[in-house]
Amino acid sequence: MEFAFPEYNLRLMAPEIFLFLWALLIIAYDVLTKRKSETTAGYLALAGLMITGLILGFTGTGHGFGNMFVSDTAAKFFKIIFLGSAFMAIGSSFGIMREKIVNHRGEFYGLILFSTVGMMFLSSSNELLSLYIGLELTTIPLFVLAAFFKDDKLSVEAGIKYFIVGAFSSALLLYGISFLYGLSGTTDLVQMKINIAITHLTFQNIGVILILAIVLVVAGIGFKLSLPPFHQWVPDVYQGSPTPVAAFLSVGSKAAGLIAFAKIFVNGLFAFHHPDMAPNDWGRLVALLAVAAMILGNTVAIRQTNIKRMLGYSSIAQVGYIMIGIVAMNALGMAAMGFYIFAYMFANMGAFAAVAIVEDKTGSCEISTYSGLARTSPLLSATFAVFLLSLAGIPPLAGFMAKFYIFAAGIQAAQHDPGLYWMYWLVGIALLTTVFAIYYYANIIKQMYFAKEPSPHKVTYNFPALTVLLIGLAGLFVFGIYPEPVLHFASGIASSFGIIP
Partner 1 sequence: MTDGSQVGVIFWFLSFVILISGFMVVSLKNIFYCALFLVLCLFSVAGIFILLEAEFLAAAQVLIYVGAVAILMIFAIMLTTDMASKEITQTNENVTVGVFVSVIFAISTILLIDKTSVWRYQDHDFSEGVTVTLGKLLMTKFMLPFELVSVLLLAAMIGAIVLARKERS
Partner 2 sequence: MFHYLALAAILFSIGLFGVLTRRNTIGILMSLELMFNGATINFVTFNKYVVTDALLGQMFAIFVIVVAAAEAAIGLAIVLLIYRNWRCIKTDNYGVMKW
Q: In whole angstroms, what is the distance from residue 445 CA to residue 384 CA?
A: 8
* Nearest by Cα to 213 from 243, 244, 187, 174: 174
Q: Which does 15 bind (CB under 5 to 8 A by kind): partner 2, partner 1, none?
A: none
Q: In whole angstroms, what is the distance from residue 150 CA to residue 153 CA?
A: 8
Cis, bond preceding 244 (omega within 30 deg of 0) = no
Binding residues among 98-127 for partner 2 as defined by CB under 8 A: none
CB of 25 to partner 1, least distance (A): 13
176 touching partner 1, by CB under 8 A: no
CB of 184 to partner 2, least distance (A): 9
Binding residues among 137-156 for partner 1 as defined by CB under 8 A: 137, 140-141, 143-144, 147-148, 150
**Residue whose CB is less far from partner 1, 150 or 416:** 150
User: Could you tell me which stretch among 65-73, 260-268, 306-314, 438-446 binds partner 1 (CB under 8 A)?
Assistant: 65-73
User: Could you tell me which stretch among 118-126, 173-181, 384-392, 418-426 binds partner 2 (CB under 8 A)?
Assistant: 173-181
Taking CB under 8 A as the criterion, the residue among 87, 114, 342, 400 binding partner 1 is 114
What are the backbone dihedrals phi and psi of residue 150, each rounded to the nearest 5 degrees, phi first?
Answer: -70, -25
Question: In angstroms, what CA-CA distances link 300 with 235, 324, 368?
Answer: 11, 21, 18
Taking CB under 8 A as the criterion, the residue among 102, 194, 278, 432 binding partner 1 is 102
169 touching partner 1, by CB under 8 A: no
Q: Which does 232 bind (CB under 5 to 8 A by kind): partner 1, partner 2, none?
A: partner 2
b/e burial code for range 443-452 (CB count within 10 A of at least 16 → b): ebbebbbebe
The count of chain residues that interact with partner 1, using the rule CB under 8 A, is: 50
**Residue whose CB is less far from partner 1, 205 or 415:** 205
Instruction: Give the side-chain half-sphere CA count within 13 A for 168.
Output: 12
**H/E run at residue 16:** helix 14-32
**Residue whose CB is less far from partner 1, 10 or 481:** 10
28 touching partner 2, by CB under 8 A: no
DSSP string, 38-70: SSHHHHHHHHHHHHHHHHHHH---EEETTTTEE
- Give residue 80's identity as a one-letter amino acid code: I
Compose the 5-34 pattern: x for residues touching partner 1 by CB under 8 A, - for all others. Answer: xx-x-----------x------x-------
Binding residues among 236-265 for partner 1 as defined by CB under 8 A: none
Q: Which does 171 bind (CB under 5 to 8 A by kind): partner 1, partner 2, none?
A: partner 2
Instruction: Supply the DSSP symbol for 63.
Output: E
- Strand, coil or helix: 459: coil
User: Could you tell me which stretch among 57-65, 166-174, 255-263, 370-378 binds partner 2 (CB under 8 A)?
Assistant: 166-174
What are the backbone dihedrals phi and psi of residue 64, each rounded to the nearest 5 degrees, phi first?
Answer: -135, 155
Instruction: Give the side-chain half-sphere CA count within 13 A for 151.
Output: 4
Q: In whole angstroms, what is the distance from residue 272 CA to residue 278 CA?
A: 8
Q: Which does 160 bind (CB under 5 to 8 A by kind): partner 1, partner 2, none?
A: partner 2
Question: In angstroms, what CA-CA distances link 28 with 20, 98, 165?
Answer: 12, 20, 31
The count of chain residues that interact with partner 2, using the rule CB under 8 A, is: 38
Question: In angstroms, what CA-CA distances link 229 with 5, 97, 225, 291?
Answer: 44, 35, 11, 11
Tally helices (H) and strands (E) across the chain: 22, 2
**H/E run at residue 71:** strand 69-71
Q: Are 146 and 240 in contact (CB under 8 A)?
A: yes
User: Could you tell me which stretch among 182-190, 297-305, 416-424, 435-443 binds partner 2 (CB under 8 A)?
Assistant: 182-190
Rg (CA), the chain: 22
CB of 395 to partner 2, least distance (A): 39
111 touching partner 1, by CB under 8 A: yes
454 touching partner 1, by CB under 8 A: no
Q: Which does 205 bind (CB under 5 to 8 A by kind): partner 1, partner 2, none?
A: partner 1
- Strand, coil or helix: 500: coil
DSSP string, 98-109: HHT--S-HHHHH
Instruction: List residues near partner 2 by CB under 8 A.
Output: 1, 129, 132-133, 136, 140, 143-144, 147, 150-151, 153, 156-157, 159-161, 163-165, 167-168, 170-172, 174-175, 177-179, 181-182, 185-188, 229, 232
Residues that bind partner 1 (CB under 8 A): 1, 3-6, 8, 20, 27, 64-66, 68-69, 102-104, 107, 110-111, 114-115, 117-118, 121, 129-130, 133-134, 136-137, 140-141, 143-144, 147-148, 150, 182-183, 185, 199, 202-203, 205-209, 211-212
